[in-house]
Structure 1
Amino acid sequence: MLSLSMGGCSSLEQGDSATGPMGNLLLAEPEPISARSQMAIARYNHILTQAPLKEEERAELLFQRGMLYDSVGLAGLARFDYSQALQLKPDMAEAHNSIGIHYIQQMDFIQAYESFDSTLDINPDYDFAILNRGIALYYGGRANLAIDDLKAFYEKDVTDPYRVLWSFIVEQELDKTSALTNLAKHRQMLSDNNWATSIVDFYLNRVDESAVIADLVDDVTSQKQLNDRLCEAYFYLGKYHSDLGNRVKASNYFKLSLSTNVYEYVEHRYSRLELDRLREQRKVNDSAQQ
């Protein structure tokens, strides 16, 4: 873990505020690929190729191996296993949800909607499918539909800062003033003992970025815990600056989130998508100026 002062690129794109360095940040030591996960994958490989299995058993093992592939960043292999599992067991809600997240990352939103709808048809109480469908609708340019899912997800646990943040991210697409009012109201239900509450305070302009970093390192007991928190914090700081049009700063934050190698977190998964969106915006702006 290093402390660094990060000034971004030498020249700023149009739309970025030239406010100087991003401040003192923490650079993650990238999460190493778990030896335990690699051994587990090897065991699943052996069982799937050698053991006589019923279709339902094979589907479950394929899904579990897919989850392991996801955790070590092997997205293509994970997606293949989820597809194979669903061919054997079409009513596996977890596999529909997991492959739906991959469809979001590929910007294949129609397939993503169908996957999360299938998850919820099979298991209406699958909370994270509600979140993921809302995120898919948001990235698919349907914030007016996404808001219902994000509101439903938030109401299932009003003390969770991440639910508050996603609700705000979508709401502001429709009405920034109303979204900020709701964010301040939702903040009252959050605990000051939860480090992620400081991200909500940052969105409310009550603290600065350095305070968010200071809070996330408080009571950290392992490198993995630190990486998990950095992955989350840098994603939401990136979203904040992206929505303000600070593209260079946002891009740096998303890259920092990716540098943690916390592959299974939605913040890591969508940092790559956010970077792709920033590149597309830049292409559009460059074309408009020609």
Structure 2
Amino acid sequence: MKLFRILGLSLVVAVTGCATNSSTQDEQWLNPPMAVPLQANVQYEVQVARLTQLLQRSDLENDVRAKMHFERGSYYNSLGLRDLAQLDFNQSLQLNPAQPVVFNQVGQYFTQIGDFDSAYEAFDSSLELDPSNSYALRNRSIALYYGDRIPLAIEGMTRYYQENPSDPYRALWLYIISREAGPLDAAIALEKRYQARNNDWGWILVALMLDKVSEEQAFKAILASSRDNTVLAERLTEVYFYLAKRHQVDGNYPAAVSLYKLAIAQNVYDYAEHKYAFLELTKIFEIVRAQQVEQAKQEAKQAETNKAEAQ
């Protein structure tokens, strides 16, 4: 893909360790940096089997059974089996509805499948049970964003950001959501937050969003600091997601689609960036489909006009 020509130098040096002829470098098709996609955790699979066996017992109290369903659902989630996880979360809540953490998980599932009203209800239940649940506050704000309820999303994400202004991921999501209401103001605010940054690795993602570092520099930083394959997969999931988001807001949909798919391909199921990449792809496909329908209407209208004029 032409998109990845800009990554040429960093890929050749950092991944393959060999150089290419500079006169032909721009004409080559180069692969993007990838970790070995994360595989199913054997320990998680063992825990699923153990909990499944224990849940067959008839002498379990409801609270204990509810906890086991939640634990098994969490393992299913980490293994990428979100529908099985949802079944367990629902069973857990039926046995014990006073579980804010479980409602938060249920809300994320509904967000992923685009059932936003159910997601809001789940997150509201989580926050009613535990008003200090920051994860539910964040995830509800993201759900509101994807559900096109931008003012409420900004309000919630602002609260979430203010709890820890030094967190680059909070700054990123506040920017992503706020730019829907005012791109320039959102960029200025993110710039100020970036200038006050600490040494957290995530600020390189902010720098990438602000175009303060090149894509080549970002990938070099990742490859240089990620000796462990799991860490590499996690960081590539993040950088591909936010880089895709930057291309998306610029209207470069082909690049965004490719990058979202790369974020998904790392198999980091627990990361929000992996989960929401599917939603972003859906949004892009809907936009492109709408544009194609509109273009077809315009072409049909023009054809009728040309026919009438010819007569």
Instruction: Tell whether the structures are fold-level matches, with TM greater than 0.5.
Output: yes
Whole-angstrom CA distance in 1 between matches of 2:247 and 2:91: 39
Equivalent of 1:188, from 188, 195, 198?
195
Whole-angstrom CA distance in 1 between matches of 2:29 and 2:214: 11
Whole-angstrom CA distance in 2 between matches of 1:273 and 1:118: 23
Equivalent of 2:52, from 30, 45, 53?
45
Whole-angstrom CA distance in 2 between matches of 1:171 and 1:58: 42
Any residues of structure 2 matched to 1:104-119 within 5 Å, and which?
Answer: 104-119=111-126
1:33 aligned partner? 40
Whole-angstrom CA distance in 1 between matches of 2:58 and 2:28: 57
Cα distance change on mapping 1:107 and 1:71 into 2, 3 Å? same
Cα distance change on mapping 1:109 and 1:22 into 2, 3 Å? farther
Aligned: 1:244 with 2:226:
no
1:51 offset after TM fit, Å? 5.8
Cα distance change on mapping 1:149 and 1:258 into 2, 3 Å? same
Q: Is the 8 A contact 2:179 2:186 kept in 1?
A: yes
Q: Once the two structures are superposed, what CA deviation does each residue of 1:21-67 show, in whole Å capped at 9, x if it has no partner?
A: 99873122110101111001011101111362110111111011101
Any residues of structure 2 matched to 1:132-151 within 5 Å, and which?
Answer: 132-151=139-158
Whole-angstrom CA distance in 2 between matches of 1:196 and 1:259: 20
1:280 offset after TM fit, Å? 1.0
Aligned: 1:128 with 2:135:
yes
Query: Which residue identity lines up with residue 175 of structure 1 in the other structure?
Result: G
Query: Which secondary structure state, in structure 2, belongs to the residue aligned with residue 73 of structure 1?
Result: coil
Cα distance change on mapping 1:287 and 1:26 into 2, 3 Å? same
Q: Once the two structures are superposed, what CA deviation does each residue of 1:134-179 show, in whole Å capped at 9, x if it has no partner?
A: 0000000011110011111111111111101000000100001110
Q: Is the 8 A contact 1:120 1:129 kept in 2?
A: yes
| Structure whose alpha-carbon radius of gyration is higher | 2
1:282 offset after TM fit, Å? 1.2
1:12 aligned partner? none
TM-score (norm 2): 0.85
Equivalent of 1:203, from 205, 209, 221?
209
Whole-angstrom CA distance in 1 between matches of 2:225 and 2:147: 38
Q: Is the 8 A contact 1:231 1:268 kept in 2?
A: yes
Whole-angstrom CA distance in 1 between matches of 2:130 and 2:30: 45
Q: CA RMSD in A?
A: 1.8
Whole-angstrom CA distance in 2 between matches of 1:123 and 1:148: 19
Any residues of structure 2 matched to 1:251-262 within 5 Å, and which?
Answer: 251-262=257-268
TM-score (norm 1): 0.91
Whole-angstrom CA distance in 1 between matches of 2:29 and 2:175: 23
Whole-angstrom CA distance in 2 between matches of 1:228 and 1:84: 30
Which is bigger in relative contact order (C-alpha 8 A, separation at least 6)? 1
Whole-angstrom CA distance in 2 between matches of 1:169 and 1:73: 26
1:79 aligned partner? 86
Equivalent of 1:263, from 258, 261, 269?
269
1:216 offset after TM fit, Å? 2.0
Q: Is the 8 A contact 1:198 1:211 kept in 2?
A: no
Give % identity.
35
Whole-angstrom CA distance in 2 between matches of 1:269 and 1:51: 35
Whole-angstrom CA distance in 1 between matches of 2:269 and 2:209: 25
Aligned: 1:7 with 2:5:
no
1:207 offset after TM fit, Å? 1.1
Whole-angstrom CA distance in 2 between matches of 1:84 and 1:156: 33
1:81 offset after TM fit, Å? 0.5
1:20 offset after TM fit, Å? 9.5
Whole-angstrom CA distance in 2 between matches of 1:251 and 1:52: 50
2:219 aligned partner? 213
Whole-angstrom CA distance in 2 between matches of 1:144 and 1:89: 33
Whole-angstrom CA distance in 1 between matches of 2:58 and 2:219: 49
Structure 2, unaligned runs of 5 or more: 5-25, 297-311
Whole-angstrom CA distance in 2 between matches of 1:22 and 1:185: 38
Whole-angstrom CA distance in 1 between matches of 2:74 and 2:170: 23
